[in-house]
Amino acid sequence: MSTNDHDFLFGLRESFIQEVHDMLLMISDILLEMEHGDPEKKHLEKIIRFFHNIKGSGSAVDFSHLASFCHKVEDLLVAIRVGNIEMNSDIMDLLFKTTDTLKDTLNKLNSNHNHTPDFNNIESLVLEKLQSQKQTTTTRTISNISNSNSSVQPSYPKQAIDPSAEGVLFHDKNIIIEASTFSEDKNILNICETFAEELVFADVNNRKSLTKLYDPIINLTAVTKEKSPRLSNYIDKLHRDLRIFITKQKQIDFYYSWYKEITAIIDLIRNPQHQNIKDIKDIKANASNEIKPTNENPNPSSGMIEHNHAIVFEIDQKLLDDFLADANEQLEILDSNLMIIENFPQNPGALDAIFRCYHTIKSSSAILQFNEIEKLAHKMESLLVLLRDLKIKYEGEIENISINCFKALKERINEIRAGNLNPSKKIIIKFNDIISAINRIGIDGKDEKEQNNSSTPTTNTNTTDTNTTVTASTPIDNMIKVNIDRLDRLIDTIGELVIAESMVSQSPDLNLISSGSEVFKHLDHLNKITRSLQEIGMSLRMVPLKQTFKKLIRIIRDVSKGLHKEISYTTFGEDTEVDKTVVDKINDPLVHMVRNSIDHGIESNVEDRISNGKAACGKLEIKACHKGGNIWIEIKDDGRGLDKDKILKKAIEKNIIRAGQNLSEKEIFALIFRPGFSTAEKVTDISGRGVGMDVVRRNIEELHGHIDIDSEKGKGTTFRIRIPNTLAIIEGMVIEVNKERYIIPTQYIERAVRIECNQIMRPFNGGNEIVIMDGENLPLFKLGNFYNVNGPIKNTEDGIVLILDDSGKKIALLVDQILKKQQFVIKQLNSMVNQVPGISGGTIMSDGKVGLILDAGPLIQGFVNQIDTYELNEKNNRRNK
Amino acid sequence: MNNADLSNKQGGSNNNNSVRAQAGKYLTFRLADEEYGLEILKVQEIIGLMAVTRVPKMPKFVRGIINLRGKLIPVIDMRTKFLLPEVEDTEKTCVIVVQTQTKDEKLIMGIIVDTVSEVLNIVQNELEAPPSIGSKLDNEYMLGIGKVHNRVVILLDLDNVLCESELNIVSSVNDNEKVNEKNHDDEKYYENEKKVVNG
């Protein structure tokens, strides 16, 4: 049982981490959008919903640290929405930092679920902001008190401000004591909880949606009546205030001050011990503040209309896909747990699981504004609360409701999947039936009746609302999340199939069959199928570069801000699809390159740019495209360009090259990739240590890619990266050394030649042979000797020499013969055998045997380093003389 | 599990007479004249010997790599590993694919044995501690000895036999012997060359 629970929690956490990861990505997207002159409230609301969602599901899976942190952030965001904190770049930075911290935490949690995240730093920053807000509100409200005292009596009904309630609320500690008794009552807490949630999702601009708040506030009034009539009265007054706001077209500020009050009360009930008298005073101050807006003319002003217009919520396709995938998962969990609970009604684990499911469904549907689902799930939750508290039993009527609810929900989800974003009439009727059935069950008859009356019509209005606001969307793809191991196994198996197929279709035994036979037709067919299967297999691992680009944009933003440079950027081809492993690995080098472009490329002095005839704002272009089985990524800046003379000078200074060496332009530019090379005078936190470009080169080499630089002094620099589409496949030349076959990636092979006797130079002491090729002296590397192959060819003239080139360093590799050029699927070698020098992996050859892939890069570098070419040159010169 | 293994191992080295083997099913195989047993749960499958690709610069007992349905796994020649005389492969020579557990990862590899015999159920009172002397093999390699009817089966501790540190030790020994002989020669050449040039 306990292990079961543990497994269950583990699974939940896994999906939670995945979910939050996606959400964080979306949050950063929205933040970026907001920063780019689109600071609309609707963005903020979206972010608040995301954080709220993280908080909710976080506490459901027992990540309480995360949840409480998100709660604080939510507070901050709400304060921004209410207008207590002004949105500025400081806050923006803080929010970005928050997402970063959360991302880090998620990564850590991913590897270790018991990791205790440390939010202290960032949390204190958030609290600091919140604190400053509190102070400003108090000071502001104090001035408001005096204002309101002198002002004319409000048109607002006088009895609403019950003097006795006010007295208790704001002068007495009694209220705190009373409130503390509430926190022991689960029922009240629950109502507060759901109320708080509704508040978060309440949309000020959509007044109809605010009517949803009536239910909980009536509830709250009812339940508090017994123990604290004064508080209850006060809440009742707030209830009336809300109605006034909704019906009388009050200014938006009215809502916000109301909002502050109600949240303060909810907080007070939820955790009275955390509350102090100062906060209560705050409430009082706000309360008097809140009188003020009522003085204003209720006629809507021009600004009013602006606030009033309903937000058209565009459904993001990805969000929808995620929602559907998630909903499916939840429905499955629901299904299994409903079965359990049917048989064992007392099983608390199953009940909790159902609870969590509905909660998750509720919050995710709220994000997409599937209000009817949200409503239903919410109702179901209140029913489950009764079940959990053992107030009712899971039998008869309740069982029916629960099953019906599940069925209806499933039907609705299917509807959405089919592309029907708006619920059909049938569904609405079903939903309403269930909701009223649940209401009938409720223990507190009177209360629930009231709810019943108001909730059913609300659902209707909401659903019609959705009808108008949701824009039509294209049919939705069915998504399925698959474990990457299974995917790899599938691809492995497909690879095997391809080999098996080729072995059959190329079998010499086929010659025995007459050529007119049906077999050949079938074989052809088989061949086609295997090929398309192989293509599908490869495409499964492809993901668009979009996320990588988004990260880059984020980097551009951070770095340009840090350096006080103004940068405008354009991206192109973010839908280019790349193998997942490539995407993971290409991130680092791209980040380094972008940082370099901004730091070194773009001039720090705006005048320099203008005098060069360029716009003051630096330009950065990031492009990606497919070309000939490769992906090309281009990063282009319009900065000062590379300074050849400076690079040469530095390189000589650092002993990377010798003075007087003749280097082509490309070779000079390539120098910047050398480790330790930097032309920067000063080391900054962004660049200058000469590490970045080395990392770039290494990472790209790891991807079997190639990097190219184009630069013109004063005009700018372009980095062009070419990377094979997938890491899983390389193009290689099969070579043979006495029956042993090795594969050399073609990217390293410059050419293959048979050499003449007079091109070989044998050192007098029997040392390494040297091949003279077009005036170049290349050390000869005998693969057979290096790998101890039995009986390789003895004479260099008998074999074939491959000229291998790795970023300028060349060697001649002697092999017996070249067999063919082909594409190979790279396979990881077992850790036991992956330490062999010069071998990077294995592959399966067309005959099903294993072939080893030579890691030519390190092989060349290592070999060349052993023989100093300089000395060879010297020797060569001496000999020639 | 791991801790238990470790403490057992320490116990084993301090006191050679401890039995680490547990009663249960063992897959037995033959190597030269001896019969050995593997815990059945470590065995993934048994396959016939297929084309093995040699991996250069590996200790001699690593015969090479095979393609096991799309996965590349190394195969170990148990005869070489146990310093038994080499023989030609026969029809009965086969590969037992086993899963071993090292400190931080699970490895799948194949071991080449002369012939696979049977699955043997060994009960507790048929188990004996490995002898402290008179055995070619280190006691670390043995879980114990099973005496079933009149047969004696050496129960192997595969994790220890195939663990990586073991491989490294052996590979360095072999390095010194002959595998990398040529390479060392090459290096000497370069050194000579430099000396000559510098001189």
pLDDT band at B185 (very low <50, low <70, confident <90, very high): very low
- Closest residue in chain A to residue B62, using alpha carbons only: A833
Of A342, A364, A367, nearest in space to A354 by CA = A342
- Closest residue in chain B to residue A841, using alpha carbons only: B72
- Closest residue in chain B to residue A869, using alpha carbons only: B194
Q: d(Cα A432, Cα A459) in Å, to the nearest integer?
A: 8
Q: Which residue among B53, B69, B108 places its CB closest to the CB of A850?
A: B53
Q: Is B188 within 8 Å of chain A by CB?
A: no
Q: Which residues of B touch A852 (CB under 8 A)?
A: 53, 55, 65
Cβ-defined contact of B182 to A785 (cutoff 8 Å): yes
Report whether pLDDT(A659) > 90: no
Q: Which two tokens stand for residue A522?
A: 């079938």
**Burial class of residue A273 (count of CB atoms within 10 Å of its CB; 0-12, 13-18, 19+):** exposed
- Predicted TM-score (pTM) of the model is 0.48
Q: What is the DSSP letter of A264?
A: H
Contacts of B121 (CB under 8 A, 6+ apart): B24, B25, B26
| CA–CA distances in Å: residue A742 to residues A81, A342, A856 | 65, 63, 11
Which pairing describes strands A760-761 and A542-544: parallel, antiparallel, or unpaired?
unpaired
Question: Per mean pLDDT, which range of A426-440, A448-462, A830-844, B36-50 is the poorest?
Answer: A448-462
Per-residue model confidence (pLDDT) at position A317: 66
Q: Is B59 within 8 Å of chain A by CB?
A: no
- Averaged pLDDT for residues A555-560: 82
B contact residues 76-115, partner A, Cβ 8 Å cutoff: 105, 107-109
Contacts of A310 (CB under 8 A, 6+ apart): A205, A206, A469
Q: What is the dihedral of CA A440, A445, A450, A451, to 10 degrees?
A: -50
Q: d(Cα B174, Cα B170) in Å, to the nearest integer?
A: 6
Greater pLDDT, A366 or B190: A366
* Residue A620: strand, helix, or coil: strand
Q: d(Cα B36, Cα B155) in Å, to the nearest integer?
A: 6
Q: Is B53 within 8 Å of chain A by CB?
A: yes
Q: Which residues of A touch B108 (CB under 8 A)?
A: 830
Sheet-wide strand order for B127-128: B115-122, B24-31, B34-39, B151-156, B142-148, B127-128
CB pairs under 8 A between A and B: 106
Mutation for B interface: A780, A833, A835, most B CBs within 10 A: A833
Per-residue model confidence (pLDDT) at position A405: 82
Residue B106, min C-alpha distance to chain A (Å)? 10
Cβ-defined contact of A866 to B70 (cutoff 8 Å): no
Mutation for B interface: A490, A832, A863, most B CBs within 10 A: A832
Q: Which residue among A763, A828, A832 places its CB closest to the CB of B109?
A: A832
Q: What is the DSSP letter of B178?
A: I
Per-residue model confidence (pLDDT) at position A861: 72
Q: Which residue among B52, B57, B66 places its CB closest to the CB of A836?
A: B57
- Averaged pLDDT for residues A117-137: 69
pLDDT band at A867 (very low <50, low <70, confident <90, very high): low
Phi and psi at A131, nearest 5°, equal -60, -50
Contact A194, A200 (CB under 8 A): no
Report whether pLDDT(A621) > 80: yes
Mean pLDDT of chain A: 72
Residue A804, min C-alpha distance to chain B (Å)? 20
Q: Which two tokens stand for residue A514?
A: 């007459």
Cβ-defined contact of B57 to A871 (cutoff 8 Å): no
Q: Which residue among A766, A787, A830 places its CB closest to the CB of B72?
A: A830
Contact A769, A794 (CB under 8 A): no
Q: Which two tokens stand for residue A408?
A: 């209806």
Per-residue model confidence (pLDDT) at position A564: 81
Q: d(Cα A102, Cα A74) in Å, to the nearest integer?
A: 14
Q: Is B170 within 8 Å of chain A by CB?
A: no
pLDDT band at B46 (very low <50, low <70, confident <90, very high): very high
Report whether pLDDT(B138) > 50: yes
Q: How far is CA A239 from the centre of its chain?
A: 40
Q: d(Cα A840, Cα A826) in Å, to the nearest integer?
A: 9
Per-residue model confidence (pLDDT) at position B192: 45
Cβ-defined contact of B167 to A866 (cutoff 8 Å): no
Q: Which residues of B touch A786 (CB under 8 A)?
A: 56, 182-183, 186
Range with the largest mean pLDDT of A120-124, A785-789, B27-31, B135-139 = B27-31
Q: d(Cα A462, Cα B189) in Å, to the nearest integer?
A: 86
Q: d(Cα B10, Cα A83) in Å, to the nearest integer?
A: 68
Cβ-defined contact of A874 to B180 (cutoff 8 Å): no
Per-residue model confidence (pLDDT) at position A877: 57
Cβ-defined contact of B186 to A768 (cutoff 8 Å): yes
Q: Which residues of B touch A875 (CB under 8 A)?
A: 197
Cβ-defined contact of B56 to A842 (cutoff 8 Å): no
Report whether pLDDT(A3) > 60: no
pLDDT by residue (tens digit) across A241-258? 777 777 766 666 677 777
Q: Which residues of A touch B179 (CB under 8 A)?
A: 788
Portion of chain A with pLDDT greater than 90, in percent:
1
Beta-carbon count within 10 A of A296 CB: 14
Q: Which residues of A touch B167 (CB under 8 A)?
A: 832
Q: Which residues of B touch A789 (CB under 8 A)?
A: 56
| CA–CA distances in Å: residue A106 to residues A23, A113, A161, A550, B103 | 12, 9, 47, 19, 26
Q: Which two tokens stand for residue A5?
A: 């629970």
Of B48, B52, B113, B129, nearest in space to B79 by CA = B113
Q: Is B121 within 8 Å of chain A by CB?
A: no
Q: What type of residue sits at position A52? A: H
Question: Per mean pLDDT, which range of A262-276, A361-375, A829-843, B29-43 is the poorest?
Answer: A262-276
Q: Which residues of B touch A500 (CB under 8 A)?
A: none
Cβ-defined contact of A867 to B190 (cutoff 8 Å): yes
- Averaged pLDDT for residues A763-788: 77
Report whether pLDDT(B78) > 80: yes
pLDDT by residue (tens digit) across A269-306? 766 554 444 444 444 444 444 443 333 343 433 333 33
Cβ-defined contact of A833 to B56 (cutoff 8 Å): no
pLDDT band at B145 (very low <50, low <70, confident <90, very high): confident
Q: d(Cα A297, Cα B114) in Å, to the nearest integer?
A: 99
Q: Which two tokens stand for residue A200?
A: 């978060």
Q: d(Cα A212, Cα A192) in Å, to the nearest integer?
A: 14
Q: What is the ipTM of this complex?
A: 0.71
pLDDT by residue (tens digit) across A206-235? 666 677 777 777 777 777 777 777 777 777
Per-residue model confidence (pLDDT) at position A587: 83
Q: Is B175 within 8 Å of chain A by CB?
A: no
- Averaged pLDDT for residues A199-211: 68
Cβ-defined contact of B70 to A785 (cutoff 8 Å): no
Of A569, A555, A578, nearest in space to A625 by CA = A578
Q: What type of residue sits at position A471? A: T
Q: Which residue among B70, B108, B192 places its CB closest to the CB of A492?
A: B70
Q: Is B74 within 8 Å of chain A by CB?
A: yes
The C-alpha R_g of chain B, in whole angstroms, comes to 20
Q: Which residue among B54, B66, B190 places its CB closest to the CB of A740?
A: B54
Provide the sign of the torsion angle of the four alpha carbons A470, A476, A478, A482, taken in this order: negative
Greater pLDDT, B116 or B175: B116
**Burial class of residue A102 (count of CB atoms within 10 Å of its CB; 0-12, 13-18, 19+):** buried
Range with the largest mean pLDDT of A118-132, A702-716, B74-88, B152-166 = B74-88
Residue A199, min C-alpha distance to chain B (Å)? 49
Q: What is the DSSP letter of B67?
A: E
* Buried-exposed string A854-874: b where 16+ CB fall within 10 A, e elsewhere: bbbbebbeebbebbebeebee
Contacts of A383 (CB under 8 A, 6+ apart): A398, A401, A402, A438, A441
* Residue B52: strand, helix, or coil: coil
Q: d(Cα A793, Cα A814) in Å, to the nearest integer?
A: 9
Cβ-defined contact of A789 to B56 (cutoff 8 Å): yes
Residues written for chain A: 881
Per-residue model confidence (pLDDT) at position A679: 62
Of A697, A853, A862, A877, nearest in space to A777 by CA = A877
Contacts of B154 (CB under 8 A, 6+ apart): B34, B35, B36, B37, B130, B137, B142, B145
Report whether pLDDT(A469) > 70: no
Per-residue model confidence (pLDDT) at position B98: 92
Q: What type of residue sits at position A207? A: R
Could you tell me where the DSSP H helices lie in A442-517? 445-469, 484-505
Report whether pLDDT(A445) > 50: no
Q: Which residues of B touch A740 (CB under 8 A)?
A: 53-54
